[in-house]
Structure 1
Amino acid sequence: MTAGARKPDDALVRMGEIAAAAGRELVVRYAVRTGLAVRYKADRTPVTDADDAAQAIIATGLAEAFPGVPVISEESALPGFEARKDWPEFFLVDPLDGTKGFVQGTGDFCVNIALVHGRYPVAGVIFLPLTGELFAGGPELGAWRIPDGESPLSLHPQPVRPEERIVLTSRARRTPRLDAYMAGKPYLGKLHVGGAVKFCMLASGFGQIYPCFHPTSEWDTAAGQALLEGAGGSVRDLHGDRFRYNKPSLENEFFVAGI
């Protein structure tokens, strides 16, 4: 990676600042998480006071920086399809992607913010609170890794031969659908990583393919798709079509992301 000649546009910069502010609050709460109050949603996924704090920071920041642009967030009331189907643009937010990793202390958590125009993400940021790294990009913008306090580094991962590919997967150890998909396909090995960090690794060249056969929602993938497309990669459904957003259901289909 080399320092990029272009800088992310103003919207991407502001989104990154907002994500970083939420991430700094998460670091504070991660350090004292032993007293964290954990509750569970109807689908038995955990949510904590840290999720709520990050959500509040992001909601306020986006409202100030982008007045009038709607926001869909995992940790806020979700608008019905009839209310949102004609939105020309909106934000998709996961204020704490990887709550399980946050609670368990694995470090696999991040902040995701994506700007969607029509049906596709055009800009996305992923902030890694424990390292202070920001990943930012979009299909018409390029992609960058911005280490804490340093200049942006442009991301241009180089292709590798099929037999050299690293397959990124979740931390689940039993992956029958993934194993069936990869059967007969050449690859070097698997790397287990939590959450949207996998998109950062793809964009950085530390993995080449991420077949996802577990449940995800639109806020889990939109920022990562924008970043990956900015780096020259893609996120496609199992029919080979570019992944779309603002569907009647905010649950995703299975997909394959890669460089």
Structure 2
Amino acid sequence: MRRDFADPALLDALASLASRAGARIMGHYGCEAMVKGDGSPVTAADHDAEEEILAGLAQLLPGVPVLAEESAAAGRWPASTEVFVAVDPMDGTREFLSQNGEFTVNIGIIVAGHPVVGVVQAPALDRLWIGSPLGAEAMALGSGASVGAARDRRAIHTRALPETGPVALVSRSHPDAASEGYYAARGITSRRAVGSSLKYTLIAEGEADVSVRFASISEWDIAAAHAVLAAAGGTMTQPDGAPLVYGRADRQFRTEHFIACSGAFAARHPL
């Protein structure tokens, strides 16, 4: 199954879809959480956003399998992984519950194990990012608005390393000692805590330089932001430089450990 996933009209439609899902999320801002079987929190916002996205994808990409977080939790997995869409209707549920704004809607298209298109929206921040073979873009877009209403739409690229040294984005909700050791070994003293896939879009936009994770994570958590970062000149690879491969049904769609960084950081600190 091959399609033109670099079609600008499709990219804009996916962006508008993510925005509509963001509006569904914001309609629940301040709600309480339930607990899934794996102990992680879930809210009505997660389910409503996924419902919106799945309905939209059925119209935009009919017949393309979807890997979506809440569907997977209910035992519904994609029938094929050669081409599929990875959906996290709301990444950063803990950030949503704390109302700090650092949660995202994520729609990523995977082809032959690699993310080729990604749309990430931050509903509480009115920001949206698109990554594709055409490049990476950022824009200001209120939740629920069509992409035609976007403001400050512009191409983005990762930045050169600051003279004061690289800035690392660390997980707000899932810190780990191995990541701290990685930063310390490279003399990185500037750190900023950020939740969700927002970390990788901020690197893509040139607001920071590196973020590492020495623990597995579900593919839907990072696929869309991976596509944005790669389109902006950054990289997201395993710690030894090997590529992350998506569609790993044999691992229940869990990733390897990874390093996400700007091109300049990768050149200064080769893997």
The alignment's TM-score, normalised by the length of structure 2, stands at 0.85
Other-structure match for 2:137: 144
Aligned to 1:96: 90
Report the Cα distance in structure 1 between the residues aligned to 2:8 and 2:162, rounded to whole angstroms: 33
Aligned equivalent of 1:72, options 67, 70, 73:
67
Q: Post-superposition shift, 1:117?
A: 0.7
Root-mean-square deviation over aligned CA pairs: 1.9
Could you tell me which amino acid in structure 2 is paired with residue 101 of structure 1? E
Q: 1:1-259 maps to which residues of 2 (within 5 A)?
A: 9-30=8-29, 33=30, 36-77=31-72, 78-79=75-76, 83-84=79-80, 87-138=81-132, 140-148=133-141, 149-160=150-161, 164-172=165-173, 175-247=176-248, 248-249=250-251, 250-259=253-262
Shift of 1:244: 1.3
Partners of 1:216 and 1:21 lie apart in 2 by 26
Give the structure 1 partner of residue 265 of structure 2: none
**1:142-187 deviations in Å (ceiling 9; x for gaps):** 1010112314211022221586100111014853111222233132
Deviation at 1:132, TM superposition (A): 1.6
Q: Residues 129, 161 of structure 1: CA spacing in aligned structure 2 closer, same or farther, 3 A cutoff?
A: closer
Q: Secondary structure at the match of 2:71?
A: coil
Unpaired runs of 5+ residues, structure 2, are 1-5, 142-149, 263-271
Work out whether residues 102 and 124 of structure 2, in 8 Å CA contact, stay in contact via their aligned partners in 1: no
Partner of 1:3: none
Distance in 1 between residues matched to 2:115 and 2:51, nearest whole Å? 22
Q: CA deviation at 1:41?
A: 1.4
Q: What letter is aligned with 1:232?
A: G
Q: Name the CA distance, whole Å, in 2 between partners of 1:99 and 1:172.
A: 10
The alignment covers a number of residue pairs equal to 245
Q: Shift of residue 27 of structure 1?
A: 1.4
Provide the rounded CA distance (Å) in 2 between the counterparts of 1:239 and 1:158: 23
Q: Distance in 2 between matches of 1:166 and 1:100?
A: 24
Query: Which structure 1 residue ranges, 5 or more long, are not aligned?
Result: 1-6
Report the Cα distance in structure 2 between the residues aligned to 1:173 and 1:197, rounded to whole angstroms: 14
Shift of 1:39: 1.6
Identity of aligned residues (%): 32
Distance 1:196 1:174 in 2: 14
SS in 2 for 1:63: helix
What are the superposed Cα offsets for residues 46-72 of structure 1, whole Å, 9 maximum, x if unpaired?
A: 111111100100000000111111110
The alpha-carbon deviation at position 213 of structure 1 amounts to 2.0
